[in-house]
């Protein structure tokens, strides 16, 4: 993407949150990463998100994140839009990565600085500083998982910041979703940050979703989203229900741990997680295998398992 206008035009639909595959030595397995990117592009995903929270960016060095950005953009070659997470606890790193992401033609995804007792005014000033650094603008990630939840009122102020092209909303409280959808729809691109519960935000008028579990269930998650997109709420509901047992495991055992384990069962190379995350337990692995076999037995899911 060459500029903010093109970014706004293309920023919609279903974006795969691509896991970062680490090999046995702890290094990033770029060959596996490229395979996983090509899989979702081939299936028709609208975009990808790289190096986010479920991409394990907090345990990567700045040099690794730079290389990750370059490798991904070289692989994609502008076939689909790419969100590149430039968040950091160090604003110096966030500035560098935000600039790099825009220069490479991606859309930087920026969180509020995760420091204690930061005020709304300071958060607003931070995004005003970050937005002009990228020629494609920035995506504001409202990420309660880092300990800071941006209120609908603050998000409305951020919508007026030049260079903010969208919000990835991680606070799925129905009241917040209702306020954001009705007050910001059309002003910014609105993305639901969770595939575990995306039907409500999409029905409220959001422009798209980002999805980690599509690494393991790319066909099923895509079919569910396309049904919503077409206005077929009944089909979307029924498809979403098919993978409820999987979602329950994801909530219990965590992402990306479960996603990578499920990818392995399908013969996809999601690699390993990096410490402090640990692989799921043997008991969890057995539960997951049972759930995946059930999904594979239903032709509606599109799921197949490795031999």
> Radius of gyration of the chain from Cα atoms?
18
| Strand spans (E) along the chain | 13-18, 47-50, 82-85, 107-111, 138-142, 164-169, 189-192, 208-211
Catalytic residues, by residue number, are 141, 168
Q: 120 CB contacts (<8 Å, ≥6 apart)? A: 151, 154, 157
Using alpha carbons, select from 103, 33, 48 the residue that is nearest to residue 81.
48
3 state SS of 149: coil
In the block, tokens 């290094």 appear at: 27
Tokens of 62: 């700045």
CA distance 60 to 105: 22
């Amino acid at each position: 993407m060459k500029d903010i206008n093109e970014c706004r035009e293309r920023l919609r639909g279903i974006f795969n949150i691509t896991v970062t595959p680490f090999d046995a030595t702890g290094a990033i397995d770029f060959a596996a990463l490229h395979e996983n990117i090509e899989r979702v592009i081939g299936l028709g995903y609208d975009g990808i998100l790289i190096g986010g929270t479920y991409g394990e960016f907090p345990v990567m060095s700045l040099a690794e994140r730079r290389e990750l950005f370059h490798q991904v953009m070289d692989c994609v070659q502008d076939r689909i839009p790419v969100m590149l997470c430039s968040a950091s606890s160090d604003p110096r790193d966030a500035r560098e990565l935000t600039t790099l992401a825009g220069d490479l033609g991606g859309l930087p995804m920026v969180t509020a600085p995760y420091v204690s007792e930061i005020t709304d005014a300071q958060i607003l000033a931070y995004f005003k500083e970050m937005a002009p650094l990228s020629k494609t603008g920035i995506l504001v990630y409202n990420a309660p998982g880092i300990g800071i939840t941006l209120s609908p009122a603050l998000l409305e102020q951020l919508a007026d910041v030049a260079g903010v092209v969208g919000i990835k909303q991680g606070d799925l409280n129905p009241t917040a979703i209702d306020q954001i959808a009705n007050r910001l729809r059309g002003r910014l691109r609105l993305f639901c940050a969770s595939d575990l519960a995306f039907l409500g935000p999409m029905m409220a008028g959001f422009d798209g979703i980002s999805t980690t579990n599509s690494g393991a269930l790319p066909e099923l998650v895509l079919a569910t989203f396309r049904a919503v997109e077409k206005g077929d709420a009944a089909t979307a509901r029924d498809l979403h229900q098919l993978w409820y047992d999987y979602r329950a495991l994801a909530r219990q055992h965590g992402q990306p741990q479960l996603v990578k384990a499920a990818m392995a069962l399908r013969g996809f190379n999601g690699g390993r997680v990096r410490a402090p995350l640990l692989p799921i337990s043997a008991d969890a692995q057995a539960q997951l295998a049972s759930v995946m076999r059930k999904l594979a037995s239903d032709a509606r899911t599109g799921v197949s398992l490795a031999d």
